[in-house]
Structure formats: C-alpha cells, structure tokens
Amino acid sequence: MLKEVLLGVLTGAVALTIGILLGHFAIDKGSSVPDWVRDASRDVDESIIEKFLAELDTNQLRENLRELTKVPHMATTPGDEATVDFMLKRWQDPNTGLDSAWRENYKVYLSFPNKTSPNKVSVGKTGYLFTAREREKVYKPDQEDPEVVQPYAAYSPAGNVKGKLVYANQGKMSDYELLNRTLDLTGTIAITRYGGEGRSKKFRSLTRSSWYTSFIALNAINAAKFGIVGVLVYTEPYDMNDGLVSESETYPHSWYLPPSGVERGSYNIDFGDLLTPYLAAKDDTYRIPKEDITGIPPIPAQPIGFEDAERLICELDGDDAPNEWQGSLNCTYKLGGPGFKSTSTFNNSNVHLDIYNTERLEYSANVMGIIRGSVEPDRYVIYGNHRDSWVHGAIDPSSGTAVMLEITRVLGKMVKEGKWRPRRSIIFGSWGAEEFGLIGSAEYTEEYFSKLSERTVAYINVDISVFANATLRASASPAAQSVIFTASKQVKAPGTTTTVYENWKQYSNRTSPNYGIIPNVGFLTGAGSDYAAFMHYLGITSMDISYFYDRSKTRARIYPAYHTAYDTFDYASTYIDPGFTSHQAVARTAGNVLLRLADSLLLPFNCSDYAESLDQYLGQAVTAFEEKLAAKGISMEPLKKAVQLFRDTAAKLDRLIRDSDLAKETPLKVRQMNDQLMLLDRAFLDPLAFPEQYGFRHVIWASRSSSVPTFPGLADAVEKAESTGLKEDWDQAHKHISIVTQAIAGAAHTLDDVI
C-alpha cells in the first residue's frame, strides 16, 4: 500500500501545484484589476506614429490643394461657402472622417470694395492723365475669374480725396517726420511702400513683434497726424522681387511678382471682430458704434502694383529721397514737390483717391471637427488654420489647409478602422475671416473661453505651410520646443539625406545654455496668424509651423505672390513646392507633434526650456535697462529673484518627473503633473497688464513696440519714460516690473510642490 499511498500523494502534490498555478495565472480576478488601469498608464505608441508618418501622401496633398483653390474664396463669399462644404464632406466621410464635424457661424464686421463702383487711383481731373489698374493682368485663367476681388485696403474708409503726391518710404512716424522738416504735408497724398516693422503677417522671424498689418494701419494713422489726406501703398520690387521688375522675369516665368500684382490686406490693428471686442459676435451681441472703432485708417488708403507706382514715383519733383528710401524702380526716388516735376505730363496735377469700400455684417463660418479622447476626453489638443483667402490663396492659407486635411484623412482612417483613438481629444478648427483680422479664431476663443482655458493642452497652427523648400521654421511657447525637436528628428528633410531637425539647425540656430547649438525656435510675440487668440488671449501653449526659405538666396520679405491674384495652384505647384514634399514634411512634423501631445502619458512640455527663455529676456532687460532704472530708484532685484525662483521650481518639477515611474503611478499623480505643464502658460496671463491692447494678456509674449527683445510691458514703458522723462512714466516702468515679477513668481508657484 505504500506505493499506492506515495503515488496518491505524488499525484496530489502535482495536481495541487498545477492547481495553484492555474488559479493564480489562468483565472482572471475579474473586477479587481479594472481595464482602465492599463489604459490610464499607456504612453504614446511609436508604431502608430511610424504608420501615420508613412501614410501622409504627396498626391493627396496636391489634390487637396487643387480642390481648395479652384475658385477665389474670400471670407463669406460663395467660394468660401464651397470650401465649408468641402471641409465638412471630408470630415464627415464615413471612412476617413472625424468623430463629428459641424459649422459655427459668427456675424462679423467686414469691409469690401464696391463691385459697381470700383476704387480708383488717378492723376488729373477725371483721371485722363493716368488711372491705376483696377485688376491685375491676366496670365492664366485664374486671374480671369470674376470673383477675383479688386485690390483694396480692408477697413480703409470710403472717400474722395485729392492732393499733391509725396513719397513717404514706409509710412513710419520717423518717415513722415523727416518729410515734414522740409515739406508742408497738409492736404497731400502719400505714396508708401509695404514693409518696415511688422511688415507682413507671415514673416515673423525677421520682423519685430507686432500685429501683422499694424504697420500698414499705422501708416495711414501716422499720415493723418500730418494732415495727409490719403495714402497709397505699393509693393517695392527691391523688397519683394530681389530687384526684378520686368514681366519676362516675373510670374509666370518665375515666382516673382508681376508688375501689376497688388498686395491686398486688412488695415486694422486689433484682431477679432471689431464691433464686439471680448464678446463672441452672435446675432444679438452688443456691438459698439462704428465711430468707436479704433486702430483703423482715418483717411482713405489703397494698395497698388509697382507698375503703377513707378508711373507716380518717377514723375515726382523735389529733393532726392534718402539712400535707404531708394528702390528698384527705374528712376531716382524723389520726395515730391509736393507733386510732380515741371517736365512731367502730370505737372501741377493732383492725385485722386476715390475709395468706395463698404462695411457689412456677414456670417462667417468656422468648420470644427473632433476626435474624442479615450482616457482624458476633457483634455484638448487643438490644431487649426484659417480657410479664407484674399483670392485663390493657394499658399495663404490653402497650403496649410491641404496639410490639415491630409492629417485628418490619415487619423480619421485609423479611428474609423478601430486601430487607434487618442488618449486626449483632438479638435480641428478651420477658421473663417482670418484675413480680416483673425476673426473666426478670436470669436471661437471668446465664445468658449472657460471651457478652452480649463482644458486645452496646446494649439498648433499651420497657416501657410510652405513658404519655400529650404527648412523648417517654428515659433512657439518655449514649453513646446522639445516636442517640436522630437518630432522633427523623426522626419526626413526633402531633398536632403538628413532629418528636418538637422537641416533646420543648419539654416537657423542658436546656442542654448542647456543644450548647445540647437535650431532656433522663434517666440510667438506677434499676432501674425490664428495662434494669437490662443497664445495671447487664452494663454494656451501654442506653436506655428511651416517650411521656409533659404534667406541667403532671396531678400523677398515673403513669397512674392502673397495676397495677390497670382497665389494660385499653378504658382504653388510650379514654383513653391512642385513635388509637395515640403507640404509632406510639414504634415509629418506638425502631425507628429499633434500625436505626441494627444497620446503621451506625460505631456511633452519642458518647463526648464521656459526658464531658459525667461533668463534670456531677463539678461536683455538687465543689459538695456538696469542702470537707467536704478537712476530712478527702481530696482530689478525682485524680477531677478522671480526668474531664479522659476528656474528652481522648473528644475524641481523636472526632477520629480525624471524620478517618477509614471506607468506605475496613480493616474491622478500623472494628471497632476500634466495639469502643471498644461497650465504653465496660463499662469502668465494678466488681463489688466495691457488694458489698451485687445487680446494681449500674456505678460511675456505680448506685442511690443520697443526694439529690445525682452518683457514687452517693461520694454515699452522704459522706452516711453526715456522719451518723456516724466515721473509718471517711470512709475509705469516700475509697475511693469511688478506685473511681470508677480506673473513669473506666480507661474513658479504652480511648478513647485503642489502643496
């Protein structure tokens, strides 16, 4: 029996062991390990990113652009409506669309030329001596479209004015002051060239910080102060065409602007609907009286091409203009008698401006689309671009919209196939009426202010996606620098054997105290595109991404067809990005950033990079202002201490993140750190810091007129105090030190231990 007993025991022991193993490993403990435990700690999936990058297709990008640019689609026109329908069709596609998509209308104040009474620029009574072109010359069928809007300056008032002509360079205060020394400007008409400070909205890296058309609205505002009654603005070929002026050297023979090309623009300083500041422009919203609008030209203004400008400038009498006022037109630029020289057929004649612009309330649509987040649906990554153009807008903005549509196609497909859903929600915005002053995006942020402020992780703006084929270009809150770098390292630069990151570093770099030589990410200090309301009004970490020039190859201040009837599919596909590989590189880089922001367990923001930027600003401020302030008894020590505190708490949060095993942490701990990172830019908001400047609440990145690249409130206040010497103006400088000190220290407190 011993053997039997042994056998039984053995059998039993084996069975027991098997049973224990089965019980432990094979039978799920059911509800004791909820599914969400795994979901909550899931990080970004690199294989999804690879798949996404691979699927972004140049042919799709080309066809998107072709479709978007079939007709002119200025805000609220039938062409714009057609793009609304197209976006909705794409985003509601059952196989490649988003979870849902819809339109949102705002009733906004726009300015248009009068179709039956076109604006007129002429010399001599009834213009028999000379009349400027009312349309740009036709080289391709696109220019023949009856919907091509006559070149005009939006928000320039209607009016019939005349006067002797003077040449006023870029229409800066200093330009008019110089003229005023020798000439009586009262009753004159000024001809000026586009350019100068803040000269073009898409060209931030080489311009000082200001609203994209503020220069040009300021031009007319400045002019009126000298008694000037009307302003002409032309595109100087020296600035835009590398000096080329002949038809044979310009589009359709090259990317340069033809002599008849005219740059349209919105001549207003404030962004958002002008009648409903801080309020979303709904049907019954209170609207300020039109007379109360500030920041638009008080006198008529009109843009013209350089062909017409040459006729006027080269006939001018008077002294030679200064060297730096000269340009590429075929004569020596003179200041004007005022008026034309005695040998000219225009002698003694006035220039007449007959402007018939009318303002109207129109419904402008944003098209919105979403992909719901799986784990944190209440966290939003917003990706947007405007949809409206001045004419066909192939580059501005359709190159960006083509990229957005290709990104949504690939993501939508993965969602519809059940292969992927982001951790956080993604919101896509196709904004309306940007060209008139970032209106659609501004109204959206006003209407959903609280919801967006509480929940938005980041805003990615891709407006003009491809200016040219040389290199990536990005401007961003410093918090986002690292994720842009990560993304750009994973994308091949078209036409090279290297990455977008390495290529970028060759074209534009700086030496970082933390990292050494890195690509230069610009600051979002202006209001050049729809990121403005997100960055400046809501304090959301924002970025603006595009492909850009080799600055050593051209002096053009922007791609030359900008805002003209030549910005067409033909132009874009012939001269800007024939293979659509730069479009693809931008789609890959911006889309990669989007995926990382949406899917990372921990938000890929870096607060020590922010500290580095604050340090840089502090250094500039100390160098430029400390001595002057000390002479007035104003100390910069509190500001230095605040920056130091920010640096220290940023390093502390960095360490906490580094020392955490996030995948094993409670999701609430990760959320806590994510909230600290998400809300970092929000902590710099102060709605009372710049009470006069619409929408600018971020005390670090607000618009600045001083040339010192540092804290804007401080820089502008010191500049003013120096010029007036008044005690009360030095007081304002002190006040701005306190404001920025409190903002930086307040932000530092949010990075510190949470309690």
Interface residue with a copy of itself among 130, 152, 267, 380 (CB under 8 A) is 380
> How many residues sit in the footprint of a copy of itself (CB under 8 A)?
90
The pair of structure tokens assigned to 544 is: 């603006």
Which residue matches tokens 């008849």? 260
Question: Under a CB-based contact definition with an 8 Å cutoff, are residues 557 and 263 in contact?
Answer: no
- Span of 114-122, 220-228, 546-554, 730-738 interacting with a copy of itself by CB under 8 A: 730-738
- Window 417 to 436, contacts with a copy of itself (CB under 8 A): 425, 427
Smallest separation (angstroms) from a copy of itself to the CB of 322:
42
Alpha-carbon 96 to chain mean position:
28
Interface residue with a copy of itself among 63, 81, 249, 675 (CB under 8 A) is 675
Binding to a copy of itself by residue 644, rule CB under 8 A? Answer: no
The pair of structure tokens assigned to 538 is: 């809501």
Phi, psi of 687 (to 5 degrees): -65, -10
Binding to a copy of itself by residue 317, rule CB under 8 A? Answer: no
Q: Which helix (H) or strand (E) holds 161?
A: strand 159-163
Measured in residues, the chain has a length of 755
Interface residue with a copy of itself among 160, 330, 345, 635 (CB under 8 A) is 635
Binding to a copy of itself by residue 692, rule CB under 8 A? Answer: no
Binding to a copy of itself by residue 361, rule CB under 8 A? Answer: no
Interface residue with a copy of itself among 231, 433, 679, 721 (CB under 8 A) is 679
- Window 584 to 603, contacts with a copy of itself (CB under 8 A): none
The pair of structure tokens assigned to 337 is: 């008698």
Interface residue with a copy of itself among 363, 420, 449, 507 (CB under 8 A) is 449
Q: Which helix (H) or strand (E) holds 424?
A: strand 424-431
Question: Under a CB-based contact definition with an 8 Å cutoff, are residues 71 and 349 in contact?
Answer: no
Interface residue with a copy of itself among 51, 253, 372, 628 (CB under 8 A) is 372
Which residue matches tokens 């002509």? 165
Smallest separation (angstroms) from a copy of itself to the CB of 277:
9
Which residues lie below 8 Å from residue 30, measured CB to CB, with a gap of 6+? Answer: none
Cβ–Cβ contacts within 10 Å for residue 352, how many? 21
The pair of structure tokens assigned to 94 is: 């059952």
Closest by CA to 475, choosing from 491, 459, 498, is: 459
Closest by CA to 264, choosing from 303, 235, 221, is: 303
Binding to a copy of itself by residue 12, rule CB under 8 A? Answer: yes
Phi, psi of 451 (to 5 degrees): -60, -45
Interface residue with a copy of itself among 187, 252, 377, 522 (CB under 8 A) is 377
Q: How far apart are CA 325 and CA 336, in angstroms?
A: 13
Smallest separation (angstroms) from a copy of itself to the CB of 292:
10
Smallest separation (angstroms) from a copy of itself to the CB of 697:
9
Question: Under a CB-based contact definition with an 8 Å cutoff, are residues 725 and 682 in contact?
Answer: no
Q: How far apart are CA 61 and CA 565, in angstroms?
A: 22
Based on CB atoms, which residue is closest to a copy of itself, 118 or 377? 377
String marking each residue 35-54 x if it binds a copy of itself according to CB under 8 A: -xx-xx--------------
Interface residue with a copy of itself among 32, 59, 497, 511 (CB under 8 A) is 32
- Span of 3-11, 209-217, 347-355, 412-420 interacting with a copy of itself by CB under 8 A: 3-11
Smallest separation (angstroms) from a copy of itself to the CB of 716:
16
Based on CB atoms, which residue is closest to a copy of itself, 473 or 698? 698
Binding to a copy of itself by residue 734, rule CB under 8 A? Answer: yes
Binding to a copy of itself by residue 27, rule CB under 8 A? Answer: yes
Closest by CA to 379, choosing from 461, 481, 454, 444, is: 454
- Window 228 to 287, contacts with a copy of itself (CB under 8 A): 276, 278-280, 282-286
Interface residue with a copy of itself among 359, 376, 435, 530 (CB under 8 A) is 376
Q: How far apart are CA 453 and CA 447, in angstroms?
A: 11
Binding to a copy of itself by residue 667, rule CB under 8 A? Answer: yes
Q: Which residues pair with 107 in a beta bridge?
A: 363
The radius of gyration of the chain from alpha carbons, rounded to an integer in Å, stands at 29
Q: Is 434 among the catalytic positions?
A: yes
Q: Which residues pair with 232 in a beta bridge?
A: 191, 302
Interface residue with a copy of itself among 668, 692, 723, 725 (CB under 8 A) is 668
The residue annotated as part of the active site, out of 136, 359, 434, 435, is 434
- For residue 282, which amino acid is it? K
- Span of 67-75, 387-395, 588-596, 631-639 interacting with a copy of itself by CB under 8 A: 631-639
Residue 127 DSSP one-character state? G
Smallest separation (angstroms) from a copy of itself to the CB of 632:
12
Residues forming the active site: 434
